[in-house]
Amino acid sequence: MHSIQYIGPIQSPRNMQYERIIAGEPMPETQRRVWQVKTGAENTGSQGFLDFRLKQSHCSDDTNKNPGLYVAWLGVEPEHEGRGIASQLIGELEEIAAQRGISRVIFTVFSDSARMLRLAEHLGYEQRADLEPIAWRELVGEELAGPIYFEKQINPQDDI
């Protein structure tokens, strides 16, 4: 098991509110070796990080408009890949969703990322064709290979 830690709210350069979970020791973002997308927060993990936010609506129809936690960014340093860090970060996010009474976690995988496609399947996420598209070109300034949307239903914890 790797050290997984909830950092809390962060502010992105585009004034989007995110929350961050890290793997490994906290380190300034400027010391990161990879994952060039700069999310604007000081603390990333020395092994990896996951940024997320609450998104109110994800579906293009009216059948499932309940809010979900949306994975905005997920990065693992290359020397730590294949050690289960991404799985642990997503697992922590699922626990946060359950604790907050949120019934689903959603994320996007680009079709050229075989590793993330396998991870989504391994963790029990289902592909969803009806999720609203994200304006990725506007966010990162480049075209990305066909986004595929995944969702997993979470059982919220009851306050007893």
pTM (2 d.p.): 0.79
CB 46 within 8 A of CB 27: yes
CA distance 103 to 92: 14
**Domain at 4-153: CATH code:** 3.40.630.30
CB 48 within 8 A of CB 21: no
Q: Where are the domains of the chain?
A: 4-153
Query: pLDDT band at residue 57, thresholds of 50, 70 and 90?
Result: low
**CA dist 81 → 85, 131, 133, 147, 149 (Å):** 7, 28, 28, 22, 22
Q: pLDDT by residue (tens digit) across 4-33?
A: 999 999 877 677 788 999 998 887 666 665
Q: Which residues have a Cβ under 8 Å from the Cβ of 111 and sit 6 or more positions away?
A: 117, 145, 146, 147, 148
What integer pLDDT is reported at residue 113 of this predicted model? 80
Q: pLDDT by residue (tens digit) across 67-77?
A: 899 998 888 88
Cα torsion angle, 42, 48, 51, 52, sign: negative
CB 133 within 8 A of CB 147: yes
- Residue closest to 103 by CA, chosen among 153, 52, 159: 153
Q: pLDDT by residue (tens digit) across 118-144?
A: 999 999 999 887 655 555 444 445 555
